[in-house]
Amino acid sequence: MPANYDEPADDAVTLIADLLALYHQGPDGLPQSIDVRCWFAFAATNKAGEITGNALRVRGGAAYACVRITSPLERVQGLGDALILIDGDNWTNWTAERKAALIDHELEHIAAQRDKDGTLKLDDRGRPKLGLRPHDWEFGGFNSIARRHRDHSFEHAAVDQIGGTLVRNYQLSFDWPAHHEAHIEHELAS
């Protein structure tokens, strides 16, 4: 849980507006009227001023940003249609390109709800109904399970399913050092 929140830097607000217009708004995308806001979240610090955790966590893991659709009450209070929280502790360390990729990723989660004919659904106040789009792909697993069970593990199956393309196109590799292999063989022999 963040220890503190603050208004975002101007470049974050500008990126949201620019990336919405460039990639996310249009006839089949988000409506022009969508209002996406953001805030910076800052992690707790100790008495020495050192960061003691993560500013944001999503599903139990550290995250650099997250997005949510605002509640109907928040919307009528003028707090926007969606809210992006950004790790303010790290924002100034990132390049402009990294910042754009992060904001674009969060905007990609926001989806307009449409009926079967493709007509935009509206709430009681005439605002577009929104939902959150899940990732196209996710990967989770444990190195220890992949090491112990190798090709029989679901971790290896997931790498075979989505990782093969990533390995070919992006040089992705998993560091399972040889000294662990000897340890695994010893475990299996026992």
Please state which of the ranges 24-28, 100-104, 105-109 shows the lowest mean pLDDT.
24-28
What mean pLDDT comes out for the span 40-68? Answer: 91
Summarised one tens digit per residue, pLDDT across range 85-94 is 999 999 999 9
Residue indicated by tokens 């493709």: 118
Q: pLDDT band at residue 162, thresholds of 50, 70 and 90? A: low
- CA dist 158 and 188 (Å) reads 23
* pLDDT at 97 (0 to 100): 96
